[in-house]
Homo-oligomer: A and B are copies of this chain.
Amino acid sequence: MSEVTATDLYEVTMALSYLREGMQAPATFSLFVRDLPPGRGFLVAAGLAPALDYLSRFRVGGTDVEEFAEALRRPVEDLEPLDGLSFDGQVRAVPEGRLVLAGEPLLEVTAPLPQAQLVETYLLSLLCHQTAVASKAARCVLAAAGRPLVDFSLRRTHGPEAGMQAARLSSLVGFAGTSNVAAATRYGIPAAGTMAHAYIETFASEEQAFRAFARTHPGPVTFLVDTFDTDRGVATAARVLKDLGLGPGCGIRLDSGDLGALARRARTALDEAGLRDVQIIASGGLDEYGIDRLVRKRAPIDVFAVGTKVGTAADAPYLDAAYKLVEYDGRPVMKLSSAKVTAPGPKQVFRGPGLRDVIGLANEEPPEGTVPLLGTVMRGGLRTEPSDTLAAARTRFEADLAAMPDEARRIDRPTAPTPVVSTRLTVLTTAVRHRIEARTGTGQ
């Protein structure tokens, strides 16, 4: 797959038309989420790192023009104006890890119109997905209330590449590890894993399986105890661990049944065997709701392994995001379609304490006590700073999370703060609306 042709056909037809009409003036597009999905009190900005990689590499070359022509069923010559086109625009963006709210731009692109248009689809695909997954993972961190979390999502994500991102994003919001080997090595995340039921089943008994595993893997091991009967599995695990003189760093994993009750009984059994240092890891369909219930019940679970529902952001697998033209050739523009009205002009988000945000114009003075969220990350198609690190993004996330009001942090029916719109943006919106209505005759 060429990253350049992984685009909607209409980006190509529009870009070609702009070039034919000589419309290469600078355009600013704003990428934002219109409304937060139910069950979200905030979003975690994510996807900027791969988005900047994409823009840095963007260049129509190779067989791209042939593919465009084939898709349009037109001669290759007709598409040649697009050949060699690369991205040399400016990008202002919210750094990964910061919390964002409805209507706040995650990213604004300013570039000659054909370029800014051609990159729309791919940018949306990266940022929508990654912000959705990071936001879901962040809620698990809240629910776990300090207990470590591990990403087990690779087998359920929308393909392996989405699994790579799920590992990266869950680490970004503070997960302690991932089961995904490729992601662990690519992103420097601690790898974590235990054993599957299949492993136990291939041996003549659970005990033989545990002993064989410990033989192959000297050092701390984690035994999966629910293949046949969990209480017996715990007893067997305890016996093998004691026999082998293991303890600190070891664990048992519960993957089915009433995790709270099983964990309580397992903890008692382990403690009675003198294995106070052996951890209990819980997995099996967990998300922030399941974790929250277990934490509230004070289930003695030391580590939560989450996969399916986080890796697919299952209750909100997409975001209502848009990449909207807000200015062309110095002229602010907006759309009036019913229920999809957009505000004109390049924007800035001014963050006040407690996530009291003001959405204003990019060239406004920050209101007192606020800091601007969007910074310039690319100029002339080149990054203005070296690649961000996961650790830096995590630090930003933790700082914003600490400042967030309680009602947005709530697991059950959270309420997101509502950003205020600045006076200057309100005035501009009204003026542009009147101008368009006068021109198109759509006013009352």
Q: Are B179 and A9 in contact (CB under 8 A)?
A: yes
Closest to A54 in B: B160
Closest to A2 in B: B182
Q: CB-CB contacts of A111-122 with B at 8 A, as 1s and 0s?
A: 001000100111
Known: A9-B181, A13-B217. 6 other contacts (CB 8 A): A13-B193, A70-B185, A124-B156, A125-B156, A159-B159, A308-B318
Q: Are B314 and A155 in contact (CB under 8 A)?
A: no
Contact of A18 among B191, B202, B325 (CB under 8 A): B202
Check A10/B325 contact, CB under 8 A, given A159-B165, A228-B337, A257-B339: no
Chain B residue contacts of A88, Cβ below 8 A: none
Instruction: State A159–B318 Cα separation when bound (angstroms).
Output: 11
Q: Are A6 and B160 in contact (CB under 8 A)?
A: yes
Number of interface residues of A (CB under 8 A): 112
Q: Are B182 and A337 in contact (CB under 8 A)?
A: no
Which one of A137-145, A208-216, A346-354, A362-370 is at the B interface? A208-216
Q: Are A318 and B328 in contact (CB under 8 A)?
A: no
Check A325/B440 contact, CB under 8 A, given A160-B1, A180-B6, A216-B21: no
Q: CB-CB contacts of A309-347 with B at 8 A, as 1s and 0s?
A: 100111001100101110011000111111110000000
Sample of 15 A–B contacts (CB below 8 Å): A6-B181, A9-B192, A17-B199, A20-B215, A120-B155, A125-B155, A125-B159, A128-B155, A201-B325, A204-B439, A226-B338, A227-B336, A228-B335, A229-B336, A232-B441
| A162 at interface by CB-CB < 8 Å | yes
Instruction: State A430–B191 Cα separation when bound (angstroms).
Output: 39
Within 8 A of B (CB), among A14-65: 14, 16-18, 20-21, 23, 27, 29
Interface centre among A29, A121, A226 (most CB of B within 10 A): A121
Instruction: State A329–B333 Cα separation when bound (angstroms).
Output: 69
Q: Are B325 and A317 in contact (CB under 8 A)?
A: no
Q: Are A17 and B121 in contact (CB under 8 A)?
A: no
Q: Are B17 and A212 in contact (CB under 8 A)?
A: yes
| A194 at interface by CB-CB < 8 Å | yes
| A299 at interface by CB-CB < 8 Å | no
